[in-house]
């Protein structure tokens, strides 16, 4: 049997009786670098406020006390965080975890219907929201029957009060002054493997996003795997990727698994200070990198494209940056070469992972300074991989097939979705849906077998957009495919079969046809988060090609879309 394993050394003990906050605050694991007390954990970008371990721990305990006292949040209750990055975000996570509750992080760009789906799927009992997104949260909460007194503001609203909702700051103050009303969750040996910490959303293979059930153990395991991979506490390792006192930027959203596990939990465990950026704005991002003397950049390819092509970059000195990791989609060799000139002193690499694997499967090896072109990295300790060919047999080195993996960080299932679980989680192995080649220990992602596209690192399920297009009275059939884009990686393009009535309206009238395309694109834009917009365009087609059983031949249309773009020379719209 051909199986591939890490060459970064054995995996040390992973505690299976700790919650994530116990591990983050109290664990003295052998792989953990020692952080001096003078080094802050978090830095608020706009104010420069520095937050140390003792303050974070105290605020976590106080907030947990308030959540239990006011709403009886306890074991098994789910709390949704609907907010951009904020220094209170991890405090909310760890407070809920201390009570035995589950966090479901939601994209603050969601429209109300998208948030309703997440709240309903996870049966959320409380909603923590940024004031800027209160109207969406209020509408969604009303739809699922969540009363307004169960909405909490993650920071104090500016201007006149629009609601009587509590704020996290008020709750921390309240929880600190009242008697302790709860007992912190303590796990017996083995319980961390099944006690849920997160319900993080992923599109899986098809359809609407699904709640990935991630236990405490999976997050703890992945942090230890990455720490072991980079030998951070090994005195023999001369070229250490990160040391206490380094400063990382947290511009990746905490609601995304990459930002949540790698950028937040792993880097805190590694002893770094994290500058928390609420929203990505490129000029402000450049300023923050210089102002805070950022040493570690965790980014996605669209941000790499900006670093390589934006004219203002030449006005900044990035000589202090010593590590740059890109994930969520592949980088071209040309981008890596350009990035080397912009970050002359940096290790530059890529990583690969999924929500279903609780993030990292592969990363740039600790002995390599620049990523191998096309490689998504090498397997990290504890991961076992198989490459399964179309006939079901296992591929050897250099052969192509679907990547299937197992290891201690795997998620458990899709929550309340047995059918989807059976497709992806099979006897402890996760079917990634990505077609790869493993050669010389490097993973090369060749193609995506599943239908999901990645736009700026975010998953987009074609079936979700198709379902919404079907709701428009002029649409008889639809198929959404991806088209390549230098900035976003991929963009959604819709092939649409119009109803007979719509066809008659636009017959022989190019202007009317163009206007209808605008209307259909707006139909999606009005209901979906921006990265799901049909920025790749709308094309009318006589019929959607299908096989004899009626399944859409999506790859046929995907190839057609690429030919259309190549022949027209059309530049993809930027989101």
End-to-end CA distance of the chain: 45
Chain centroid to CA 359? 8
Same domain, 352 and 433: yes
Q: What residue ranges in 64-183 does DSSP mark as E strands?
A: 78-82, 102-106, 126-129, 151-153, 166-167
How is residue 413 annotated by DSSP?
A: E
Do 428 and 297 sit in the same domain of this protein?
A: yes
448-470 pLDDT per residue, tens:
666 678 888 788 878 788 878 87
pLDDT tens-digit series, residues 16-70:
999 999 999 999 999 999 999 999 999 999 999 999 999 999 999 999 999 999 9
Domains in the chain, number:
2
Two structure tokens written together for 158: 């500016």
Report the pLDDT value the prediction gives residue 547, as an integer from 0 to 100. Answer: 56
Identify whether the C-beta of residue 128 lies closer than 8 Å to the C-beta of residue 154.
Answer: yes
Whether 389 contacts 400, CB under 8 Å: yes
Mean pLDDT of the residues in the chain: 91
The verdict on 437 and 481 lying in the same domain is no
How many degrees, rounded to 5, is the angle at CA 22 between CA 16 and CA 23?
60
Is there a single domain that holds both residue 413 and residue 292? yes
Last residue of a domain, one of 422, 450, 478: 450
The predicted model gives 258-278 an average pLDDT of 97
Which of 420, 450, 480 corresponds to the end of one domain?
A: 450
In a domain, 369, yes or no: yes
Arithmetic mean of pLDDT, 98-116 = 96
What SS3 class is residue 117? Answer: helix
276 and 409 assigned to the same domain: yes
Residue of 408 and 336 predicted with greater confidence: 408
Distance from C-alpha of 12 to C-alpha of 484, rounded to nearest angstrom: 41
29 falls within a domain:
no
In angstroms, rounded to a whole number, what is the distance separating the alpha carbons of residues 190 and 213? 17
Q: Does residue 312 surpass a pLDDT of 60?
A: yes
Do 353 and 399 sit in the same domain of this protein? yes
User: How confident is the model over 249-260, as a mean pLDDT?
Assistant: 95
Q: Are 437 and 2 in contact (CB under 8 A)?
A: no
> Does a structural domain hold residue 261?
yes
DSSP assignment letter at 154: S
- Of the residues 405, 422, 450, the one at which a domain ends: 450
- Could you identify the residue written with the tokens 């052998």? 30
Contact 394, 438 (CB under 8 A): no
Same domain as 416, residue 464:
no
pLDDT band at 330 (very low <50, low <70, confident <90, very high): low
Domain check: are 492 and 521 in the same one?
yes
Band of the pLDDT at 517, cuts 50, 70, 90? very high
Convert the pLDDT of each residue in 344-396 to its tens digit.
999 999 999 999 999 999 999 998 999 888 889 999 999 999 999 989 999 99
Domain assignment of residue 557, given as a range: 455-568
Nearest to 364 by CA among 290, 374, 306: 374
Q: Which of 93, 84, 94 is nearest to 46 (CA)?
A: 84
Using the predicted structure, report yes or no on whether residue 445 has a pLDDT greater than 50. Answer: yes
Reported confidence tier of residue 573, pLDDT bands at 50, 70, 90: very low
Question: In the predicted model, is pLDDT for residue 172 greater than 90?
Answer: yes
When mean pLDDT is compared across 11-25, 128-142, 226-240, 243-257, the lowest value belongs to 226-240
CATH number at residue 495: 3.30.300.30
The DSSP-derived string for 330-386 is ---HHHHHHHHHHSTT-EEEEEEEEGGGTEEEEE--TT-SBPPTTEEEEEPTT-EEE
Sign of the alpha-carbon dihedral angle for 154, 160, 164, 169: positive
Residue 571: per-residue pLDDT: 38
- Residue 263's CATH number: 3.40.50.12780
Confidence of residue 575 (pLDDT cuts 50, 70, 90): very low
Contact (CB, 8 A) for 196 and 103: no
In this model, does residue 231 exceed pLDDT 60? yes
């Amino acid at each position: 049997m051909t199986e591939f394993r890490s060459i970064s050394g054995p995996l040390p003990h992973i505690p299976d009786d700790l919650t994530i906050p116990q591990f983050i605050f109290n664990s003295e694991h052998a792989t953990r670098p020692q952080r001096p007390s003078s080094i802050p954990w978090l830095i608020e970008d706009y104010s420069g406020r520095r937050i140390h371990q003792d303050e974070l721990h105290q605020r976590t305990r106080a907030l947990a006390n308030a959540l239990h006292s006011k709403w009886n949040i306890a074991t098994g209750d789910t709390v949704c965080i609907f907010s951009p990055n904020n220094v209170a975000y991890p405090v909310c996570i760890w407070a809920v975890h201390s009570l035995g509750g589950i966090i479901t992080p939601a994209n603050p760009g969601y429209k109300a219907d998208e948030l309703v789906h997440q709240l309903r799927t996870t049966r959320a009992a409380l909603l923590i929201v940024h004031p800027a997104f209160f109207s969406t949260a209020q509408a969604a909460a009303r739809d699922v029957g969540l009363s307004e007194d169960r909405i909490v503001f993650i920071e104090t609203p500016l201007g006149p009060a629009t609601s009587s909702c509590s704020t996290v700051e008020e709750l921390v103050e309240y929880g600190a002054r009242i008697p302790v009303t709860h007992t912190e969750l303590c796990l017996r040996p083995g319980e961390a493997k099944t006690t849920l910490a997160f319900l993080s959303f992923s599109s899986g293979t098809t359809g609407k996003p699904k709640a990935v059930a991630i236990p405490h153990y999976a997050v703890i395991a992945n942090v230890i795997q990455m720490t072991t991979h980079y030998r951070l506490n090994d005195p023999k390792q001369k070229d250490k990727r990160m040391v206490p006192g380094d400063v990382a930027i947290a511009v990746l959203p905490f609601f995304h698994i990459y930002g949540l596990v790698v950028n937040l939990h792993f880097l805190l465990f590694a002893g770094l200070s994290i500058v928390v950026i609420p929203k990505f704005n490129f000029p402000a991002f450049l300023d923050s990198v210089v102002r805070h003397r950022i040493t570690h950049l965790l980014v996605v390819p669209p941000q790499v494209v900006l670093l390589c092509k934006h004219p203002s970059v030449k006005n900044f000195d990035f000589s202090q940056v010593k590590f740059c990791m890109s994930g969520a989609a592949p980088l071209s060799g040309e981008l890596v070469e350009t990035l080397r000139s912009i970050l002359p002193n940096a290790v530059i690499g890529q990583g690969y992972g999924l929500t279903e694997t609780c993030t990292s499967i592969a990363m740039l090896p600790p002995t390599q300074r620049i990523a191998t072109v096309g490689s998504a990295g090498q397997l990290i300790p504890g991961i076992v991989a198989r490459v399964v060919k179309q006939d079901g047999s296992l591929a050897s080195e250099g052969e192509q097939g679907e990547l299937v993996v197992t290891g201690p960080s795997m998620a458990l299932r899709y929550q309340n979705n047995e059918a989807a679980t059976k497709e992806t989680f099979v006897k402890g192995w996760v079917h990634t849906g990505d077609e790869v080649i493993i050669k010389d220990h490097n993973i090369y992602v060749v193609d995506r077998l599943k239908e999901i596209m990645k736009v700026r690192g975010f998953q987009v399920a074609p079936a979700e957009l198709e379902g919404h297009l079907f709701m428009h009275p002029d649409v008889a059939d639809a198929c959404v495919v991806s088209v390549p884009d230098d900035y976003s990686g991929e963009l959604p393009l819709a092939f649409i079969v119009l109803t007979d009535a719509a066809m008659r309206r636009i017959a022989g009238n190019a202007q009317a046809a163009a206007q209808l395309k605008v209307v259909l694109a707006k139909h999606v834009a009005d209901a979906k988060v921006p990265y799901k917009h049909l920025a790749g365009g709308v094309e009318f087609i006589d019929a959607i090609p299908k096989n004899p059983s009626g399944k859409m031949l999506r790859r046929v249309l995907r190839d057609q879309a690429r030919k259309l773009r190549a022949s027209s020379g059309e530049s993809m719209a930027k989101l």
